[in-house]
Amino acid sequence: MFLFMIGELSAIRAAIETLTGLNALAAVIVEVVVTSIYTSIGGFRVSFITDNFQGAFVLVLVVVCIIGMATNIDIDTSKIGPSGLLKGNKLGFWLRTFASKSNKDLWIGCSIASFVTFTICFFAIKVADDILQIYLIADLVSAAIIPAVFLGLSDTLFYFLRGFDVMCGGLGALLGVFIFGTVYYGSAKEGGKLLLVWNGIYNSADWGPFGAFVIAPFGGILITFAAAAIRITFAYLLCKSTNRPFTALDRPEYIEPEQQLNVFNESYGSVDDIAKKNTNDP
C-alpha cells in the first residue's frame, strides 16, 4: 500500500506540473496534510464521503474529456493497448488475506511484508521519481513471494508447505537477487541497487534486471522447499527425541463449511438456542 500511495502522490505531482508548469511540491504537501487531518478525525469511514465527492468530480471531468477528445483529438485506435487491469500484480495485496487461516496469520504476514516493503521504499523514495520504477520494485517483491504462495495453495502436491516456508522462500529470493547483483556487477552496492531496479529494465547492455526477475521466482521456490526440508527434518528429530508422533507430513483434513458450523454450534450453541435462552430468562 505504501508503494501505491507513493505512486498516487507522484501521479498528482506529475499532473499538476504538466497542466500548470509549476512546482507541485507545495500542492502535494497540502494534499497529504489535509488527508491526514480528516482521516485522523473521521476515521476510515470519512474516506467513503470523500470518495463520493471524488466520484462526482470524476464524472464531470469524464464528460469534459469526452467532449474535448471528440471535438479536438484524432486517436489512432490501432495503437491502443490492453489496460492491464487483469494482470496478476493487481491482486497481490489480497493474496495475503485469502491465504491467512486466522487474524494472527494475517497480522504476521502483513507485518513482515510491510517491513520489507517499507525498507525498500525508504531507500528508493528519493531516487524512484519515475512511477514505472516504483511498480517495478513491487513486481520484483511479488515475483519473489507469489510463486511460493501459489504452491502452498495446492492441497494435493504441496500440502506439507507452511507459512514459515513461504516467508523464508520470499526473503531468501530477495537475498538471492542481492547476491546475484553483487556477483554480476562485482559490487555489493550495485547488488543493493538491483533490488531497487535502480538502472531500469531498458538497457540492452545490462542483463542484471533480467537475471533478477528470473532468480526471484525460481530462487523463491527452491528456497521454499529447502526451508520446508529443514523444518520437517527438525520436527522429525524433535519428535524422535521426545517420543511424540511425527505429523509434519500428514495431510490436513478438510472440513466442510457445514461441519465447521456444526462444531461451532456444539461448542458455543446455535443462534436459535441463544435466542431461546434469552427469551426464557426473566
pLDDT tens digits, 170-185: 888 888 888 888 888 8
pLDDT at 109 over 50: yes
Q: Is the CB of residue 168 less than 8 Å from the CB of residue 223?
A: yes
User: Taking CA 24 as the corner, what is the angle to CA 23 and CA 30, rounded to the nearest 5 degrees?
Assistant: 135
Higher pLDDT, 31 or 83: 31
pLDDT at 260 over 50: yes
Mean pLDDT of 148-159: 78
pLDDT at 272 over 70: no
Residue ranges covered by each domain of the chain? 2-79, 100-242, 257-282
SS3 content of the chain, % helix, strand, coil (to 5): 75, 0, 25
Q: Is the CB of residue 16 less than 8 Å from the CB of residue 24?
A: yes
Higher pLDDT, 25 or 92: 25
Between the alpha carbon of residue 14 and those of residues 7, 54, 88, 156, the distances in Å are 10, 19, 26, 49
pLDDT at 282 over 60: no
Q: Which residues of 107-132 are buried (b: 16+ CB within 10 A; e: fewer)?
A: eebeebbeebbeebbeebeeebeebe
Q: Measured between alpha carbons, how far is 280 from 6 in angstroms, rounded to an integer?
A: 57
Residue 8's pLDDT is 75
Check the CA dihedral 70-73-74-79 and report its sign: negative
Mean pLDDT of 104-133: 68
Residue 60's pLDDT is 92
pLDDT tens digits, 211-244? 888 888 888 888 888 888 898 888 888 888 888 8
Q: Phi and psi dihedrals of 139, rounded to 5?
A: -65, -35
- Sequence length of the chain is 282
Burial class of residue 199 in the structure, from the number of CB atoms within 10 Å of its CB (0-12 exposed, 13-18 middle, 19+ buried): middle
Beta carbons within 8 Å of 223's beta carbon, 6+ residues apart: 168, 169, 172, 173, 176
Residue 88's pLDDT is 47
pLDDT at 270 over 60: no
Higher pLDDT, 130 or 147: 147
Grid coordinates belonging to 219: 530462487
Q: Among 35-49, 127-141, 173-187, which stretch is predicted with the lowest mean pLDDT?
A: 127-141
Check the CA dihedral 12-18-19-24 and report its sign: positive
